[in-house]
């Protein structure tokens, strides 16, 4: 299993993309990149600096002031996103960021910046990246593409549990509203909208355990790496 590939995982909000991407990266000793964290961190910067989303000049100047990096967290073993030298991994999961991120992610200059970083990170392959446009725009030639979904009630419940664990005080209804809004904005934006690439494999994990979804994806990845599946 020496050939390194790129695995692109796209799909709707809160359907378990990052869980699967992290599992796959761990099993294959690949790097996991959470592209959504980049859009969330940029959103945090825009909120803090009160950047107006409609002013192209302000946006360009603001983006010059942003430095993003992923650093390994020794305690969790995951990689956290840092914004201008500050670990913002926890902060960007809060609901105020979720409420604004899809608007920020639709801004052309924002996407250009994030996509460039994402392509650089994939230069040497051996990477699992999840997002909305990874298999369609960022890595259209990724060797393995998955498109994930799950039914709405399951996604809302999963995100609710996740936020409760992190001590977030958000209701099921707020989460449902946010997920529905983001699904709409992400699938309807002009640039790089969320859609299934024609060569992506659909994975509906509504009734799958974490282990089952990993087994499914890992079997595919191994076949691709071994050249059995193209
Ligand atoms: O974890 P969750 O599914 O809630 O979302 P995320 O992956 O953290 O992404 C947050 C938001 O960033 C999405 O709703 C999109 O608006 C945007 N995003 C994007 O436009 N393109 C990507 N490749 C990744 C995220």
Q: Where are the domains of the chain?
A: 6-225
C-alpha 226 to ligand 1 mean position (Å) = 31
Q: Report the pLDDT value the prediction gives residue 53, as an integer from 0 to 100.
A: 87
Closest ligand 1 atom to residue 98 Cα is 10
pLDDT of residue 75: 92
Q: How much is the pLDDT for 1?
A: 52
If one residue of 17, 33, 34, 39 were mutated to test the ligand 1 pocket, choosing by the most ligand atoms within 8 A of its CB, it would be 39
State how far the Cα of 221 lies from the Cα of 26, in Å rounded to an integer: 13
Cα–Cα distance measured from residue 72 to residue 78, given in angstroms and rounded to the nearest whole number = 6
The residue whose C-alpha atom lies closest to atom 12 belonging to ligand 1 is: 36
| Average pLDDT for runs of 10 along the chain of length 230 | 90 96 97 98 97 90 96 93 98 96 97 97 97 98 98 96 86 96 97 98 97 97 91
pLDDT score recorded for residue 148: 98
- CATH topology for 6-225 is Rossmann fold (3.40.50)
Closest CA to 22 of 5, 34, 11: 34
Ligand 1 neighbour 105 (Cβ under 6 A): yes
pTM: 0.96
Determine the atom of ligand 1 nearest the C-alpha atom of 186: 16
Residue nearest to atom 8 of ligand 1 (CA): 36
Q: Is the minimum distance from the CB of 155 to ligand 1 under 6 angstroms?
A: no
Ligand 1 lined by 36 (C-beta under 6 Å): yes
Rounded to whole angstroms, the Cα distance separating 90 from 105 reads 19
- d(CA 38, CA 28) in angstroms, rounded, equals 23
Alpha helices by DSSP H, listed for 71-226, are 95-104, 108-121, 152-165, 172-188, 210-225
Identify the pLDDT of residue 54: 85
Nearest C-alpha neighbor of 132 from the set 5, 38, 25: 38
Q: How far apart (Å, rounded) are the C-alpha atoms in residues 108 and 100?
A: 15
CA atoms within 13 A on the CB side of 24: 32
Q: Which of 223, 35, 18, 19 is nearest to 136 (CA)?
A: 35
> Rounded distance, CA 114 to CA 109, Å?
9
């Amino acid at each position: 299993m020496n050939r390194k590939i790129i695995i692109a995982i796209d799909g709707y909000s809160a359907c378990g993309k990052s869980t699967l991407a992290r599992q796959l990266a761990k099993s294959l000793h690949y790097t996991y990149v959470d592209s959504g964290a980049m859009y969330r961190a940029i959103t945090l910067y825009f909120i803090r600096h009160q950047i107006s989303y409609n002013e192209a000049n302000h946006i360009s100047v603001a983006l010059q002031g942003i430095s993003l990096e992923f650093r390994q967290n020794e305690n969790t073993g995951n990689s956290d996103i840092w914004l201008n030298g500050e670990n913002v991994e926890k902060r960007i999961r809060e609901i105020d960021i979720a409420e604004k991120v899809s608007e920020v992610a639709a801004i052309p200059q924002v996407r250009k910046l994030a996509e460039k970083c994402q392509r650089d990170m994939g230069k040497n392959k051996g990477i699992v990246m999840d997002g909305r446009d990874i298999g369609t725009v960022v890595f259209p030639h990724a060797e393995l593409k998955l498109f994930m979904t799950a039914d709405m009630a399951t996604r809302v419940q999963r995100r609710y549990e996740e936020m409760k664990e992190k001590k977030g005080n958000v209701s099921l209804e707020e989460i449902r509203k946010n997920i529905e809004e983001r699904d709409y904005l992400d699938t309807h934006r002009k640039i790089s909208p969320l859609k299934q690439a024609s060569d992506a494999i659909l994975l509906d994990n509504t009734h799958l355990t974490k282990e089952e979804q990993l087994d499914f994806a890992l079997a595919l990845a191994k076949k691709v790496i071994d050249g059995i599946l193209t």
